[in-house]
Amino acid sequence: MAGTLYVVATPLGNLGDLSPRAADTLKNVAVVAAEDTRHSKPLLVLAGSRAELISFHEHSTDRTLERILRILGEGRDVALITDAGTPGISDPGVALVAAAQERRIPVVTIPGPNAVAASVAVSGISGDRYLFLGFLPRKGSDRRRFLLTAAQSEWTVVLFEAPNRVTQLLADLVEACGPDRRAAVSRELTKVFEETRSGTLQELSEHYAEAPVRGEVTVVIAGTGKEHVEERPPDPGERARALLDEGLSRRDAANRLAEETGISRNAAYRLVMEL
């Protein structure tokens, strides 16, 4: 029989948050697959675990993945842990879980600390429904698309960010969501210098521009409270006729039609000429 892959949540910072069940699991498995083995060694010492540590992170090769799957296939149990919190959430462990499921290897959750839930709980912003976007792309159209999603979301939005990029993120959110949107910034959750600051995006942006952040950061943004309805682009044929009725030349009408509907300029010109 195959071994079991245990997906084990570990403390965000305070080692006292390691559950008895998680400690027992780490103590009894043969292998622990950890994002950063140096970071995880003190945790295994705390749990009294002598399991073999294998490094498994976003840059791990397929050979490492196959090695862990082979261990499971031999009937030995493996615990998957991340640096902090629950594996699989903004974490490369999802690849191992998916591969184990494909091979019908039992996967069991050992739930516990989760930065998303913890930050929403102390934000003062509704957690009835929320959208988790993780770390935003660094730049370009992908970043703009994610910012627009956050701005238009009916529900609360939760983001992760590195401390050195929080100032830029908040500035971008002010531009995308408006200065008065409610938000909260949590850092160093469960650690000695834990802090959650709430206010408008403008207030938070100004504060952290003057007081650089240290430690892991979660940003919670209030939703709009209203369903976002995409506006349908105008019908090209109807819009072309309306532009001509306004007195535009065929060339100007074709250019405007392409801009407003997204069709190519050649297609817009042909459509205008047919009218």
DSSP string covering the chain: ----EEEE-B-SS-GGG--HHHHHHHHH-SEEEES-HHHHHHHHHHHT--PEEEE--TT--HHHHHHHHHHHHTT--EEEE-SSB-TTSSSTTHHHHHHHHHTT--EEEE----HHHHHHHTTTS--SSEEEEEEPPSSHHHHHHHHHHHHH-SSEEEEEE-GGGHHHHHHHHHHHH-TT-EEEEEESTTSTT-EEEEEEHHHHHHHHHHS---S-EEEEE---SS---PPPPPPHHHHHHHHHHTT--HHHHHHHHHHHH---HHHHHHHHHH-
- Pairing status of strand 156-161 against strand 182-187: unpaired
The whole-number pLDDT of residue 233 equals 64
pTM of structure: 0.80
What Cα–Cα distance (Å) separates residue 273 from each residue in 42, 102, 236, 242, 249? 74, 56, 13, 14, 11
Tens digit of each residue's pLDDT (9 = 90 or more) over 101-134: 999 999 999 999 999 999 999 999 999 999 999 9
Among 163, 160, 126, 129, smallest CA distance to 146 is for 160
What per-residue confidence (pLDDT) applies to 266? 87
Q: CA-to-CA distance for 52 and 47, rounded, in angstroms?
A: 14
pLDDT beneath 70: ranges in the chain? 228-234
Give residue 2's pLDDT: 92
pLDDT of residue 243: 87
pLDDT given at position 231: 61
Per-residue model confidence (pLDDT) at position 148: 93
* Distance between CA atoms of residues 18 and 243, nearest Å: 67
